[in-house]
Amino acid sequence: MMQIRVLGSSGGIGNGARTTSLLVDQDVLIDAGTGVADLTLSAMADIDHVFLTHAHLDHVTCIPFLLDSVGGRRERPLVVHAQEPTLAVLRQHLFNDALWPDFTAIPSRDRPYLRYEPLSPGVTVTINGRNFRAIPVTHSIPAVGYLMDSGQASLAFSGDTTSTDAFWQELNACHNLAHVIIETSFQDIEEDLARASGHLCPRLLADDLRKLNHAVPIYITHLMPGEEESILAEIHARIPDRPLQAFRRDMVLTL
């Protein structure tokens, strides 16, 4: 069994909104947005792996603070799994001893708080019987979604994406798909902005969902703060025949 708890699912901050992060059981994060900061120190110390969709700040922002807060409590490094271009951004622009200390060398190279693990699209990582498969998506920078399989059922998470084909092809090939989490960041009036920034709006989402062959619950994530209800209303108007709901903080899904 696998339990996924939503720590953050917003496209921004403010008014209780937290940016993207999912806690899988007690030891794995999918992205590390501002929702991680609501965990207790003990819960943070239990996290052994972080799978990143991409390098944008709203998805990685809590990794430095997590390491600073609980790195000394841990007996092994936190492993960050991501595409090499994502890891390159972390090395060059975040853990660079200028913006933040390089925790791959703290307290020493032999016993660091942080370790990078390259992960290519199409590759599956197995952790204690749970499979995490990186799936290509289409964003403004290199990005992946994830297909998480407990052995009994699977959940797909898009991360940030605009219109894509590879993501839906992977999902259609999944025999035990139970849930789909897909982003929609903007209203239809902002379609040009959605396309330029590598996101979806309700019209683009409706077009993409026609590529999905499975009739499973669909959750909408990465809604922009203050626009949530307008975006959802447009989604329901364009896609009245599918079970859709907002992916909200503290929601728990079990596989």
Burial of 65 (0-12, 13-18, 19+ CB in 10 A): middle
H or E element that contains 228:
helix 228-238
Are 160 and 222 in contact by the 8 Å Cβ rule? The answer is yes
Residue 163: phi, psi to the nearest 5?
Answer: -55, 135
Is the pLDDT reported for residue 243 higher than 90? no
Q: Which pLDDT belongs to residue 232?
A: 97
**DSSP3 helix / strand / coil % (the chain, rounded to 5):** 30, 30, 45
Q: Write the pLDDT tens digit of every residue in 40-82.
A: 999 999 999 999 999 999 999 999 999 999 999 999 999 999 9
Q: Write the pLDDT tens digit of every residue in 118-127.
A: 999 999 999 9
Task: Please give the biggest Cα pair distance in the chain.
Answer: 56
Rounded to an integer, the average pLDDT of 190-214 is 97
Burial of 231 (0-12, 13-18, 19+ CB in 10 A): buried
Taking the model in full, what pTM does it have? 0.97
Q: Write the pLDDT tens digit of every residue in 127-157.
A: 999 999 999 999 999 999 999 999 999 999 9
Q: How many CB atoms lie within 10 A of CB 67?
A: 23
Structural domains present in the chain: 3-254 (3.60.15.10)
Rounded to an integer, the average pLDDT of 6-28 is 96
CA distance 35 to 16: 10
The pLDDT-based confidence of 182 (bands split at 50, 70, 90) is very high
Are 232 and 188 in contact by the 8 Å Cβ rule? The answer is no
Q: How many CB atoms lie within 10 A of CB 69?
A: 16
Q: DSSP letter for 219, please.
A: E
At residue 29's C-alpha, the angle toward residues 61 and 140, to 5°, is: 55
168: left (phi over 0), alpha (psi -120 to 50) or beta: alpha
Q: Which pLDDT belongs to residue 15?
A: 85
